[in-house]
Amino acid sequence: MAISGEEFEKLFSDFQREAFRLETLDDYTGSSNAENFRAFLAGEPQPSDYNQEWADEVRGNTDAGKRMYRVHIVSRPLTPYLLFELGWGYAKNAAAGEEFFILDITDRPNPLEGVPDFWVFDESTVVTMQYGEGGTFVSAEAQLIPAEWLEYRDIALGGAVPFTEWWERYGTE
């Protein structure tokens, strides 16, 4: 069932234990702030208020004892967008308490080929996300969680490494 932006946002304040995200794309430019991306590409410093609303959301949830974590499937070399997202976004969000893992498929097949981006809330609700050209967010659909989504999460986590470990090794490539 398609859900509105407001319904989707409400899930981030209503979940009780954990929220997990799988990111599968290497370009979400169409869904991000064009000025921030331009500033990153120009080598300008990260604005202090960059992504602050999300960081505040994460901090509120993690301070309340809730877990927020994600796996991003990537292959090297990273796209300019991924350098931006991982370099600016992940660092700030991690400081707010979000956990990040990288499933690097550079030298191996993608074990989740064809699986769309999704969030799982409290192992009971899944929201799949559809993106258009250039990573432009199109829509989200919510459903009670079939077991396959938990299997996808577990496959992603099973092959992933913590972001900081991966970034230290590959972040400058």
pLDDT one-digit tens code per residue, 107-123: 999 999 999 999 999 99
**Do the Cβ atoms of 58 and 94 come closer than 8 Å?**
no
When pLDDT is cut at 50, 70 and 90, the band that residue 86 belongs to is very high
What is the arithmetic mean of pLDDT over 58-83?
97
Give the tokens for residue 119.
């969030």
Share of the chain above pLDDT 70, in %: 99
What is the arithmetic mean of pLDDT over 6-11?
95
Residue 94 scores a pLDDT above 80: yes
The H or E element containing residue 166 is helix 163-170
Phi, psi at 14, each rounded to 5°: -95, -20
**Do the Cβ atoms of 156 and 73 come closer than 8 Å?**
yes
**Do the Cβ atoms of 71 and 102 come closer than 8 Å?**
yes
pTM across the whole model: 0.94
Q: Give the tens place of pLDDT for each residue, 129-148.
A: 999 998 999 999 999 888 99
- In the chain, the amino acid numbered 78 is L
Q: Give the tens place of pLDDT for each residue, 11-62.
A: 999 999 999 999 999 999 999 999 999 999 999 999 989 999 999 999 999 9
Number of domains in the chain: 1
Residue 172 scores a pLDDT above 80: no
pLDDT value at residue 4:
93
Domain CATH for 147: 3.30.870
Q: Which residues constitute the domain of residue 147?
A: 5-170
Whole-number Å distance between alpha carbons of 20 and 101: 11
Q: How far is CA 70 from CA 38, 45, 47, 138, 160, in A?
A: 25, 26, 24, 20, 10
